[in-house]
Structure 1
Amino acid sequence: MDGELNSTYIILDGYVELSKYRYVYFFILFTAYILIMCSNLIIVYLICIHKNLQEPMYIFIAALLLNCVLYSTSTYPKVLIDVLSEKQIISYSACLFQFYIFYFVGPSEFFLLAAMAYDRYVSICKPLQYPTIMTNTTVILFLCVAWFVPALHSAIPIMLLNSTKVQLCHFNLKGIFCNNAIYTLQCVRSRSIAIYGVFAVLDVVILPIILIVFSYTKILIISYRSCKEVKKKAAETCLPHLLVLFSLTCLSVYDISIVRVDSDFPKTARVIMTLQIVMYHPLFNPFIYGLKMKEIHKHIKCLFSQDKAILEV
């Protein structure tokens, strides 16, 4: 049965009038992919080479941006090939791989945002204890949890979906890549996968959000009672994280709910929201952190001013 599933091909039926807008799709997606790779990797590069950016907060930002690179690389090349192809198909095994990366990266970002929130909480609410709390060991521990726990969670539904008990009766996937919609291919929705899905959402999405809300609530209370300098510091460092959290949460709510309203959701609206997932968040992160984080913004300006000076010479 495993061999049969792996050799099965799924039709990606999420595009709207692809034959008419083929090159428009390609231009938009190719441009977005180049921007995503360049913007994310530039900031990661700056964090790696500048010692004043090698602090816990910036290390977590670099990890978050590397997630965007990983996710985009697992999605965009295949989508770009599909846009130029006569048939938009993917093997079931490749579909499961895309599914795994998607549900590894998403929850991982929630954990990284929780680590950032805790870092800001310690920095603003316990500044004297910051060096002893946010040590290199603490940062490595947070990174391991942020990557290992979601990787483990994502592996379990892959094993269930690839088991002999799962049978496929449908081969048209209403999407341009493999996400939650893969469950609609099953002849009978697996109760064990549904139960595990609820547990996973509570564990890797709701729990980090609760920790984030708790941390920022404490920061807000301390900032309200403190001087203007503390309020300014809190606003400058916390606002980008909250903006990223808001966008990630909105897209996650859409992804979780789309399977439950599968038949009623218009195809055009579906492709627009799917493009939001593959484009908006990976592009949003580097621009938010590049513009809102003073130290990163300063190094970006220096980098491009040096490039400009070289070109002029």
Structure 2
Amino acid sequence: MKYSRMNVTEFILMGLTQKPQIQTILFLVLLVTYIVTVTGNLLIVCTVNCSQTLNSPMYFFLAFLSLIDACYSSSIIPKMLVDLLSETKTITFNACMIQLFVTHFLGASEIVLLVVMAYDRYVAICRPLHYVTRMNHHTCCLLVGVCWAVGFLHSFGQILVTFWISFCGLNVLDHFCCDIFPLIQLGCSDTFLLGLLVAVNGGVIPVITFVMLLMSYAVILCSLRTRSSAGRKKALSTCGSHITVVVLFFVPCIFMYLRPVATFPMDKAIAVFYTLVTPMLNPVIYTARNAEVKHAIKILLKKHQNLYNK
């Protein structure tokens, strides 16, 4: 096995576009979107932690999801913003590996977390008498630990793949960040097996998970027929938010990784969508359809306003 860094010490990122006028516009748009994304997700985290009413496991996992989204965008977008204003868009080999590890670590952790959130809703709706005992604080913390562990194993596997790539001096990445497929395409040896491993790790597993999630929510929705009108409406609102987030996250992910090693013109746009747009929409999706979260946010903002006025 040949260690790649012996051949390449840094990579040149092509970015989203090479046109200076468009780069300036993109910088402003991405900066505003990034600020909204981080602010919205951290507001959810602070609201859940400070509120006395949002103490159920569902909101515990929601805060964790918001934290992941804020960190995920922060692992990519700041570097993008700097590159949009720079003539040379370079990233060192070590920094590239760190970015690759962090993004896949957070992404895989979010996949497992969405499964955990679906299980939480299943127990709450289909097994309400067992909810308190099954979803206690210890279990919730254990499930979060499982999310981190799976994320680490997945990301570690992605890093191991890069150790098998022989770059042979090629270092121009047609992307705005370090990702596994653009790196594999720089390899000068046969990368079919590497591409297959990445497709299985990053594509097949999300497909299976996505199908299982849709089936689980179908079971949950079918069980609502026996509920009262008020209970059915509340459960539908919560499950609708979860399903929307699942679709927005999994569909781009499956498109990007369940395929042979290749690039398409729409890849960068889709990458922007799941690295920035989806994390920005998640707080909106969960708060717009949840009266408890909106009420808790209003109370939190009012408290801070009163403290500021004093």
TM-score by length of 1: 0.89
Do the aligned residues in 2 keep the contact of 1:107 with 1:204 (CA within 8 Å)?
Answer: no
- Describe the superposition over 1:153-174 as per-residue Cα deviations: whole angstroms up to 9, x where unpaired: 11122023135x6334532211
Quote the offset at 1:297 in angstroms.
Answer: 1.1
Amino-acid identity (%)? 29
Residues 259 and 182 of structure 1, relative CA distance in 2, 3 Å threshold: farther
Q: What is the CA deviation profile of residues 52-95 of structure 1, one whole-angstrom value per residue up to 9, with x for unaligned ones?
A: 21221111111111111211221122111111111111112211
Taking the aligned partners of 1:113 and 1:186, their CA distance within structure 2 comes to: 34
Match of 1:166 in 2: 166
- Measured after TM superposition, the shift of residue 25 of structure 1 is 1.8
SS class of match (2:53): helix
Conserved 8 A contact 1:108-1:147: yes
Partners of 2:168 and 2:97 in 1: how far apart?
Answer: 13
Structure 1 equivalent of residue 175 of structure 2:
175
Contact 1:184 1:259 in 2 (8 A): no
TM-superposition CA deviations, 1:11-47 (whole Å, max 9, x none):
1113223322232122112112211111111110011
Deviation beyond 6 Å, 4+ runs, structure 1? 309-313
Q: Which residue of 2 aligns with 1:295?
A: 292
Q: CA deviation at 1:300?
A: 1.6
Task: Please say which of residues 153-162 and 36-45 is displaced more in the overlay.
Answer: 153-162
Contact 1:16 1:271 survives alignment (8 Å): no
After superposition, where does 1:134-153 map in structure 2 within 5 Å?
Answer: 134-153=135-154
1:167 alignment partner AA: F
Q: Which runs of 5+ in 1 are unaligned?
A: none
Cα RMSD for the two superposed structures: 2.4
User: The residue matched to 2:12 in structure 1 has which SS?
Assistant: strand
Secondary structure of the structure 1 residue equivalent to 2:76: helix
1:202-226 residue CA offsets vs partner (Å, 9 max, x unmatched): 6752343244223212211111233
The answer to which structure has the higher helix fraction is: 1
Letter in 2 for 1:301: K
Aligned pairs for 1:12-51 (under 5 A) are 12-51=13-52
Indicate how the Cα distance of structure 1 residues 174 and 29 shifts in structure 2: closer, same or farther if over 3 A, else same. Answer: same
C-alpha displacement of 1:259: 6.1
Offset, 1:4: 3.7
Q: Distance in 2 between matches of 1:4 and 1:120?
A: 46
Greater mean deviation of Cα atoms: 1-10 or 283-292: 1-10
Render the CA deviation track for 1:266-305: whole Å, top value 9, x for unaligned. Answer: 3xx4443332233211101111112122211111223344
Q: CA deviation at 1:193?
A: 2.8
Distance in 2 (CA, whole Å) between partners of 1:48 and 1:296 is 12
Q: Does 1:123 align with 2:120?
A: no
In the alignment, which residue of structure 2 is the partner of 1:64?
65
Change (3 A) 1:206 1:3: closer
Count of equivalent residues: 308
Query: Residues 244-255 of structure 1 correspond to what in structure 2 (within 5 A)?
Result: 244-255=245-256
Question: 1:19, 1:270 → 2: CA distance?
Answer: 21
The 1:148/1:189 distance shift into structure 2, 3 A limit, reads farther
After the TM superposition, which residues 144-293 of structure 1 pair with which residues of structure 2 at under 5 Å, given as runs?
A: 144-163=145-164, 166-168=166-168, 170-179=170-179, 180-201=181-202, 204-256=205-257, 260-262=261-263, 265-266=264-265, 269-293=266-290
Q: CA deviation at 1:257?
A: 5.1
**Contact 1:6–1:93 (8 Å) recurs in 2:** no
Q: 1:207 to 1:273 in 2, by over 3 A?
A: closer
Q: Residue 26 and residue 6 in structure 1: after superposition, are their counterparts in 2 closer, same or farther (change >3 A)?
A: farther
Counterpart Cα distance in 2 of 1:148 and 1:281: 23
User: What amino acid is the match of 2:188?
Assistant: C
- Unaligned 5+ residue runs, structure 2? none
Whether 1:10 and 2:7 are equivalent positions in the alignment is: no
Cα deviation for residue 116 of structure 1 reads 0.9
